[in-house]
């Protein structure tokens, strides 16, 4: 009887995990579901209308959660009045004249093609009116525009795969706080709070966040740890690592200053089911309010 019961529990567990990672379209019904569980109000009511530019174009891996994440960010702003959102796939949105119209930019899983890992240049490659050198010059200019925008006080929120956008660019890596190395297979990941009392950890009410995700690992500027970590995972508990990891505590969400600007990187999640937990919705909202400059909090680097 005990064996039968154990087998039943294991079967239910497998079915539950598989259900959690099943892909589905971003339907009006799902958006309505998110609207119901999203926070009713923001931590801080802005003194003026805040505007976010959300870029969700990809040329590399197609994360099925992209449209869901864009709608989540839109819903959070609309429901609470914390900000307005314009969603675009136009790479020329990074022109200086356009960026100046926004308080913050969100890069939503804007993943580039390997091995070049330059999404801006990928997008320009389809423009037959431009020569090769002109494309390279323009791509470098648009990337520099974004980095300069943040340095001068703009906000930047980077979700999941968007850390790969300009993955071979060290200036981009230093702005975001790291670059993508690789990830083991999707699996249940337990995310622990770095500081339970931090304002941006408030959403999790002192408890770990457990979900199915791609456990991202980072390199380049990540090694400097020039950021304030918010969530971490213990890599000793991960399956499918390419090699042993000496430093088992790896951060997956953080905030940081870049010049006068503010950056929020949030790795969770690859799957839309994660957003059906109100805690992650609040985490996204609070992070957005941080990059917009409304939610003030300690963002001193861990190295200090």
Please give the pLDDT value at position 9.
36
Handedness of CA 27, 33, 35, 39 (dihedral sign): negative
89-147 tens-digit pLDDT: 999 999 999 999 999 999 999 999 999 999 999 999 987 789 999 999 999 999 999 99
pLDDT of 204 reads 98
The more confident residue out of 246 and 272 is 272
- Could you report the per-residue pLDDT of 13-67, keeping only the tens digit for each? 333 444 458 999 999 999 999 999 999 999 999 999 999 999 999 999 999 999 9
Do residues 174 and 180 touch, judged by C-beta distance below 8 A? no
Residue 303: predicted pLDDT: 65
Can you list the alpha helix ranges (DSSP code H) found in the chain? 2-20, 28-37, 66-80, 96-99, 119-124, 132-151, 170-176, 278-292
- Whether the predicted pLDDT of 304 surpasses 80: no
Contact 83, 46 (CB under 8 A): yes
Predicted local distance difference test score (pLDDT) of residue 12: 37
CA-based end-to-end distance of the chain: 57
pLDDT over 90 (residue 178): yes
Please, are residues 290 and 264 in contact by the beta-carbon 8 Å criterion?
A: yes
How much is the pTM?
0.92
Strand, coil or helix: 217: strand
Helix then strand count (H, E) for the chain reads: 8, 11
* Domains annotated on the chain, with CATH: 43-292 (3.40.50.880)
The predicted structure's pLDDT at residue 13? 38
**Which residue in 16, 28, 27, 112 sits closest to 63, CA to CA?**
112
Nearest in space to 182 (alpha carbons), one of 161, 204, 201: 161
Euclidean distance between CA atoms 96 and 187, whole angstroms: 40
């Amino acid at each position: 009887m005990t064996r039968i019961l154990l087998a039943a529990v294991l079967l239910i567990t497998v079915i539950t995990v598989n259900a959690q990672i099943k892909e589905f379209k971003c339907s009006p019904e799902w958006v309505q579901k998110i609207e119901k569980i999203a926070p009713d109000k923001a931590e801080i009511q802005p003194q003026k209308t805040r505007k976010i530019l959300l870029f969700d174009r990809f040329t590399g891996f197609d994360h099925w959660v992209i449209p869901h994440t864009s709608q989540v960010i839109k819903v959070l702003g609309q429901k609470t009045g914390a900000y307005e959102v314009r969603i675009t796939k136009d790479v020329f949105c990074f022109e200086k004249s356009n960026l100046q119209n926004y308080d913050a930019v969100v890069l939503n899983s804007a993943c580039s093609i390997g091995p070049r890992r330059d999404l801006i240049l990928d997008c320009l490659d389809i423009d037959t009116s431009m020569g090769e050198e002109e494309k390279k010059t323009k791509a470098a200019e648009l990337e520099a525009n974004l980095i300069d925008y943040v340095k001068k006080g703009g906000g930047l929120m980077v979700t999941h795969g968007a850390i790969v956008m300009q993955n071979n660019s060290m200036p981009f890596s230093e702005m975001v706080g790291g670059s993508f190395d690789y990830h083991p297979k999707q699996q249940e990941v337990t995310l622990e709070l770095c500081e339970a009392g931090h304002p941006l950890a408030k959403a999790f009410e002192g408890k770990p966040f457990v979900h199915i995700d791609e456990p991202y690992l980072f390199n380049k500027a990540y090694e400097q740890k020039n950021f304030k970590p918010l969530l971490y995972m213990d890599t000793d508990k991960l399956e499918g690592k390419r090699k042993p990891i000496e430093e088992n505590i790896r951060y997956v969400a953080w905030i940081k200053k870049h010049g006068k600007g503010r950056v929020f990187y949030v790795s969770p999640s690859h799957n839309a089911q994660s957003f059906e937990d109100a805690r992650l919705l609040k985490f996204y909202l609070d992070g957005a309010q941080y990059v917009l400059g409304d939610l003030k909090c300690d963002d001193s680097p861990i190295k200090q």
